[in-house]
Amino acid sequence: MSSLNYCSDLHSTINEQSLHDQSSSSMNIDHSNNSNSRYSFDFELYNTESFKLVPYDKLIHKKPFKGLLFDSLDIGLDFYKTYGQECGFDVNMSSQKRYNDGTIRIRYSTCSRSGFTESFKNENVNMKFSDVKRKRTSSKKNGCLAVSKFKNLRCSLMFYIYVFVEDHNHELVAQDQLHLLRINRTMDFLDESFIHKVGTCNIGVSKAYNLVSSMKGGFDSRGGTAVDFKIFHRDLNCKIGVKDSQMVVDILTNRKLCFSNFSFEFQKDVDDHLTGLFWADDTSKANYKEFGDVLSFDATYQTNNYSMVFVLFTGVDYHKRCVTFAAGLLARETADAYVWLLEVFRKAFVKPPMMIVTNRDSSMKKAVNFVFPESKHRLCMWHIPQKLEEKIPIDVYNHPDFQKTFFDIIWNLQCSPQDFESSWSTMLDKFPLKENDWLRSVFKIRDLWIPAFMRDLELSVHMSFDSAMEKQRHLQSLLDYQSTTTTPKLRTPLAIEKHASEIYTHNIFLDIQKELYKSVFYCVQESVVIEDESEVYDEEYDDFYRNSLPSHCPNTRYKVVFSRRGDSISISCSCMLFVQEGLLCRHMFFILNMKEYDEIPSNFILRRWGKDIIANGLLRKKYSYPHKGNKNECLIQEAYAILRLSINKIANNEDELAKYVKRLQEVDSGIPLCTSSRASSSRSVHIEKIIGVAVPDVINIHNPEGIRNMGWASGKRIKSTREKVIEKSKKGTRLCGLCHKPNHNARSCILRFKKSDLESEVTED
709, 309 Cβ separation under 8 angstroms: yes
Confidence of residue 458 (pLDDT cuts 50, 70, 90): low
pLDDT per position as a tens digit, 714-752: 555 556 666 666 676 666 778 888 888 887 888 888 777
Residue 24 reports pLDDT greater than 50: no
Residues in the chain: 765
Residue 14 reports pLDDT greater than 60: no
pTM for the whole thing? 0.62
Give the pLDDT score at 621. 52
pLDDT per position as a tens digit, 128-160: 445 556 666 778 888 999 999 999 987 788 999
Euclidean distance between CA atoms 367 and 373, whole angstroms: 10
Give the pLDDT score at 177. 83
Q: Which of 16-25, 363-372, 685-694 has the lowest mean pLDDT?
A: 16-25
Residue 21 reports pLDDT greater than 50: no
Q: In what order do the strands lie in the sheet with 376-379?
A: 263-268, 274-280, 322-330, 309-316, 294-302, 355-358, 376-379
Give the sign of the dihedral formed by CA 628, CA 632, CA 635, CA 641. Answer: negative
Q: In what order do the strands lie in the sheet with 523-531?
A: 523-531, 534-541, 557-565, 568-573
Give backbone dihedrals phi and psi of 33, rounded to 5 degrees, phi first: -100, 10
pLDDT per position as a tens digit, 536-577: 998 887 666 676 666 555 567 889 999 988 888 999 998 888
Confidence of residue 346 (pLDDT cuts 50, 70, 90): very high
Q: Which of 165-179, 297-311, 484-498, 595-609 has the lowest mean pLDDT?
A: 297-311
In the chain, the N- to C-terminal Cα span, in Å, equals 73
Give the mean pLDDT of 300-315. Answer: 76
> Of 54-68, 647-661, 707-721, which has the strongest mean pLDDT?
647-661
Give the pLDDT score at 497. 94
Give the pLDDT score at 646. 87
> Of 94-108, 240-254, 480-494, 604-618, which has the strongest mean pLDDT?
94-108
365, 377 Cβ separation under 8 angstroms: yes
> Of 173-187, 222-236, 404-418, 435-449, which has the strongest mean pLDDT?
435-449
Give the mean pLDDT of 220-243. Answer: 80
Q: Which of 64-78, 164-178, 712-726 has the lowest mean pLDDT?
A: 712-726
Query: Residue 61 burial (CB < 10 Å; 0-12/13-18/19+)?
Result: exposed
> pLDDT > 90: what percent of the chain?
19
DSSP 38: S
Euclidean distance between CA atoms 5 and 25, whole angstroms: 31
H helix runs in 350-387, sequence order: 362-371, 383-386
Residue 300 reports pLDDT greater than 50: yes
Residue 42 reports pLDDT greater than 70: no
More confident residue, 682 or 759: 682
Give the pLDDT score at 455. 66
Euclidean distance between CA atoms 456 and 357, whole angstroms: 16
pLDDT per position as a tens digit, 276-285: 999 998 888 9
Give the pLDDT score at 679. 38
> pLDDT > 70: what percent of the chain?
74
Q: Which of 49-58, 369-378, 600-609 has the lowest mean pLDDT?
A: 49-58
Which residue, among 311, 406, 411, has the nearest Cα to 358 in the 3D structure?
Answer: 311
Confidence of residue 263 (pLDDT cuts 50, 70, 90): very high
Residue 28 reports pLDDT greater than 80: no
Euclidean distance between CA atoms 375 and 357, whole angstroms: 10
Confidence of residue 499 (pLDDT cuts 50, 70, 90): very high
Give the pLDDT score at 41. 45
Q: What is the CA radius of gyration of the chain?
A: 38
pLDDT per position as a tens digit, 630-660: 567 778 778 877 888 888 888 888 899 999 9
Q: Which residues contact 90 (CB under 8 A, 6 or more apart)?
A: 84, 111, 112, 181, 182, 183
Confidence of residue 182 (pLDDT cuts 50, 70, 90): confident
39, 46 Cβ separation under 8 angstroms: no
Give the pLDDT score at 140. 83
